[in-house]
Amino acid sequence: MSDIGQFKSKYNQYKDTFKSTSYDSENEFYLCTDESQDVINFDMIIENNYPDSNRRPKSFDAIYIRENIVYCIEFKNQKPSKIKNSEIQEKLEHGKDELITLLQKENIDTSDLTFIYAVVYRECKSNRDKFKCGVVQSQIEFGLQKYKDSGFVKDVFTSDVAFFTRAFKLKEKKELAC
């Protein structure tokens, strides 16, 4: 059996940054501006594997890998109240299924890996938004609790970009400029 390093080597051409993978082309806005940490642009892998956009499965934006922990990250340049639960859930389900398939093709034992799903959304700025984000900050949003409860992923984090930046520093002991 291979380890996750084999996957990183195989998909090295998809190495990218948080800045690039958080780009919202519709609004020409970067949700995160950090270029110091390497991620894998998972959307790009999916686009290349499924050139026909009508047949392309939904996927999360980026993968950040540390040892046997695989962070599957979706960036949304929206307020949490505007994010559709079904879209976020499909990105997790389809994305993880595709990722598992790619890992298995590299003969990587996925039972040795810990999968974490993170949905990072626009920082809450108005008083109404700040209140909502503060109230639900410790809760898993977008109907994603069921994926943690069922073991589909080990953990789920749903937070604004400022909280994500602080949490990343605490967990990874690395600065993240978002």
Please tell me the distance from the alpha carbon of residue 82 to that of residue 24, in angstroms, as a whole number.
15
**Does residue 84 lie within any of the structural domains?**
yes
Q: What percent of the chain has pLDDT over 70?
A: 92
User: What is the pTM assigned to this prediction?
Assistant: 0.91
Cβ-in-10-Å burial (0-12, 13-18, 19+) of 90 comes to middle
Higher-confidence position of 3 and 86: 86
178: in domain? no
Domain limits at 44?
A: 4-172
CA distances from 159 to 15, 137, 156 (A): 24, 6, 10
Model confidence over 87-100: pLDDT tens digits?
999 999 999 999 99
Average pLDDT, the chain: 90
Residue 177 inside a domain? The answer is: no
Number of domains comprising the chain: 1
- Distance separating alpha carbons of residues 127 and 31, to the nearest angstrom: 20
